[in-house]
Chain A
Amino acid sequence: MSAFFGDSGSDCRTNEGVSPLKVRTTQKRRIIADVAARVGMWGATLMVMIPIFLIFYYIAKKGLPTMDWEFLTQSQPFSMRARGGGFVHGLIGTLIMVGLAALISVPLGVLGAIYLVEYGKGRPLAQVVRFFSDVMTGVPSVFVGLFVYTALVIPYGFGAVMGAAALAIIMLPIVVRSSEEMLKLVPRELKEASYALGAGKWQTITRVVLPTAAPGITTGVMLAVARAAGETAPLILTALGSLEIVTKMVGEPIASLPVLVFTGARNPFPAGQERAWAGALELLLLVLVFTLLARIASSRNKLQQ
């Protein structure tokens, strides 16, 4: 501190030997630095606001003209050149795969979080699991796709289950860590009251702890779902894509919204690009719905208030 306020601090203690002029210039310099820093912070914030508005504005502007009833209810035409049709096959594929992924990752993740909070507390194993869950959230999603490709697609072929497996792996660490944070917030008195009534540990967890933490866990799950719904790279490697609605779970490539947007963005024909924009709008709305559900659940969460 003293090194930092050194030159300006001298005038607080004594003005002897320091000319008033020098005091005034250092004072001025300090104020200029302060103003410059404030301008910098305001400027940075405004700079960041620009792309936010540009993204939402252009997705809405370019997506809305193509976004009609036909787009929402029809599959894609076989030629990228042809206008009309839509991405309903992608929407169905995305919902199937994200739903399956949630079915796998949510029970596993919540149980894992229960282990971390209730059983493994303070043990080195819990610490290791917690650390590697954090690390796992940083694993590139394309690498998860490569893994599922080598482990599942090579023996069984492309399909909804493979895509779901990749998405589940991406969701798992998010569910574990967010559920853990919520379970930690459940008041000890509540658990002790349950034990005092003669309930066992698992009864306390299933009847008292989980219902109390449910809104918070829902928030984490919804955020994980939103993340998974937007993932493209792992699905290119595991679900591939299709031009029609697919309901077979294994052995048949299945379409998804993000991959359709990706292929649309890479094709040279205007009709295909227009569909990509509408698809991007649809995908963005889907993701925002899940984010909104997460917010609603979190506003109902009494533990955090």
Chain B
Amino acid sequence: MGERRDLVLRGGLQRLMKRGAGRLADPVFAVVTGIAGLAVLIILAYMVVVTTYTAVPVFRSQGWSFIFSTDWSPSEGKFGAFAFIYGTIITSLIALLIAVPLSLGVALFLTEIAPRWIRGPVAYLVDLLAAVPSVVYGLWGVFVLLPGFLQPIATWLSVKLGWIPIFAGPATGLSFFGAGVVLAIMIIPIITSLCREILKAVPVGEKNAAFALGATRWEMIRGAVLPRAKAGIIGAVMLGLGRALGETIAVALLVGSRAQVTASILQPGYSMAAVIANQFQEATGDHVSALVGVGVVLFGITIIVNVAARVLVWRMVES
């Protein structure tokens, strides 16, 4: 028996050593995985090239007015995307203004002061918020949040603080403000979970050192945790910003779809992503190229924000 098994094994071994396939498998596999790794770069590069190429005619015919003009009338062949760029930036800033303090508060709560039993459920619920699709946020925002909660706040702001240009009335329901609030809710889970990772990475020794000096918990957080985590937190905020800039559907439903530049956040406006989603189906010819051009500009802005954010987060995590 044993002798026979030995023979079979030896035969198998010889077959393996002789067979070209067996010897080739390793390098072939290496090449295949290498190609798969490159796929990310190839797709990303191809995306940039194809879309830019489609948009070039419009960039060329409109020149700088594509970015700096607010005159967007496809029927007359005029494409000035400034109102969209402005709307994207305004809604994202409103979102950050609301989301950053709240996210940081939740992240600090979870890592520093929350009782043990409450941590799991709260973290789970916040993560759940990240799983909700943007179209669901949009639907809920338009039919529940806007009439029930945001409209009263907006009306109050326009009546009491209407003399400040950014709160000038009349408060229409669909507005930069409404879109910004829903965006804030959408990016809170992203910023929170990243901040938690970063806060967890702060060395325990330094925290204990602060306590040993007689610091209260808040002094410990301000003196030991926040300075250490600053770069990472800024990175997390910028990743949230990147998400807010590119968010499409919720903004398309809430921003009011009017291409205008106004100082008041209570007025309707537009955003780059929203105009693409809203106008693409009816667009033909130059209008399509113009919308692709808006996409290229949006891509450029989000890429800059994302690269900067990644560099900050990476540096934090590496160190």
A245 lies within 8 A of chain B by Cβ: no
Considering only residues 19-64 of chain A, those with a C-beta below 8 Å from chain B are: 30-31, 33-34, 36-38, 40-45, 47-49, 51-52, 54-55, 58-59, 62
Considering only residues 95-142 of chain B, those with a C-beta below 8 Å from chain A are: 101-106, 108-110, 112-114, 122, 125-126, 128-129, 131-140, 142
Q: Contacts A205-B29, A233-B273: A112 and B37 contacting too (C-beta < 8 A)?
A: yes
- Residues on the A chain within 8 Å of B239, using CB: 138
Considering only residues 161-210 of chain A, those with a C-beta below 8 Å from chain B are: 169, 172-173, 176, 200-203, 205
- Residues on the B chain within 8 Å of A40, using CB: 105
How near does chain B come to A281, taking the closest CB pair, in angstroms?
9
In Å, the complex CA distance between A129 and B302 comes to 18
Q: Contacts A44-B105, A44-B106, A143-B298: A59 and B136 contacting too (C-beta < 8 A)?
A: yes
A232 lies within 8 A of chain B by Cβ: yes
Considering only residues 246-305 of chain A, those with a C-beta below 8 Å from chain B are: 258, 261-262, 264-266, 273, 276-277, 280, 283-284, 287-288, 291
A98 lies within 8 A of chain B by Cβ: no
A102-140 interface mask toward B, CB cutoff 8 Å, 1 = contact, 0 = none? 000001110110111011100001101101111110111
Q: Contacts A4-B223, A230-B136, A232-B135: A138 and B248 contacting too (C-beta < 8 A)?
A: no
A44 near B131 (CB under 8 angstroms)? no
B32 lies within 8 A of chain A by Cβ: yes
A219-241 interface mask toward B, CB cutoff 8 Å, 1 = contact, 0 = none? 00000001001111100110010
Contacting A45 at CB < 8 Å: which of B26, B41, B105, B142?
A: B105
A146 near B51 (CB under 8 angstroms)? yes
B41 near A49 (CB under 8 angstroms)? no
In Å, the complex CA distance between A62 and B143 comes to 10
Q: Contacts A48-B102, A129-B38: A287 and B133 contacting too (C-beta < 8 A)?
A: yes
A233 near B306 (CB under 8 angstroms)? no
B277 lies within 8 A of chain A by Cβ: yes
B93 lies within 8 A of chain A by Cβ: no
B54 lies within 8 A of chain A by Cβ: yes
In this complex, the interface size class of chain A, counting residues with CB under 8 Å from chain B, is 35 or more
In Å, the complex CA distance between A262 and B277 comes to 11
Contacting A142 at CB < 8 Å: which of B54, B112, B136, B273?
A: B273
B202 lies within 8 A of chain A by Cβ: no
Task: Determine the residue in chain A with the shortest Cβ distance to B131.
Answer: A291
B310 near A37 (CB under 8 angstroms)? no
B26 near A201 (CB under 8 angstroms)? yes
Contacting B298 at CB < 8 Å: which of A55, A140, A265?
A: A140
Task: Determine the residue in chain B with the shortest Cβ distance to A172.
Answer: B40
In Å, the complex CA distance between A144 and B280 comes to 14
A176 near B40 (CB under 8 angstroms)? yes
B26-54 interface mask toward A, CB cutoff 8 Å, 1 = contact, 0 = none? 10111011111111110110110011001
How near does chain B come to A18, taking the closest CB pair, in angstroms?
16
A288 near B131 (CB under 8 angstroms)? yes
How near does chain B come to A66, taking the closest CB pair, in angstroms?
13
- Residues on the A chain within 8 Å of B188, using CB: 48
B217 lies within 8 A of chain A by Cβ: yes
Task: Determine the residue in chain A with the shortest Cβ distance to B126.
Answer: A48
- Residues on the A chain within 8 Å of B216, using CB: 30-31, 33-34
B105 near A237 (CB under 8 angstroms)? no
Q: Contacts A33-B216, A146-B276: A58 and B43 contacting too (C-beta < 8 A)?
A: no
| 7 intermolecular pairs with C-beta atoms under 8 Å apart | A12-B214, A52-B126, A120-B34, A120-B37, A136-B40, A147-B47, A265-B139
Contacts A45-B105, A264-B139 supplied; 8 other A-B pairs, CB < 8 Å:
A55-B129, A119-B33, A138-B305, A142-B273, A230-B135, A261-B135, A265-B253, A280-B135
Interface residues of chain B, those whose CB is within 8 Å of chain A, are 22, 25-26, 28-30, 32-41, 43-44, 46-47, 50-51, 54, 101-106, 108-110, 112-114, 122, 125-126, 128-129, 131-140, 142-145, 185, 188, 192, 210, 213-219, 221-223, 239, 242-243, 245-249, 253, 273, 276-277, 280-281, 291-292, 295, 298-299, 302-303, 305-307, 309-310, 314
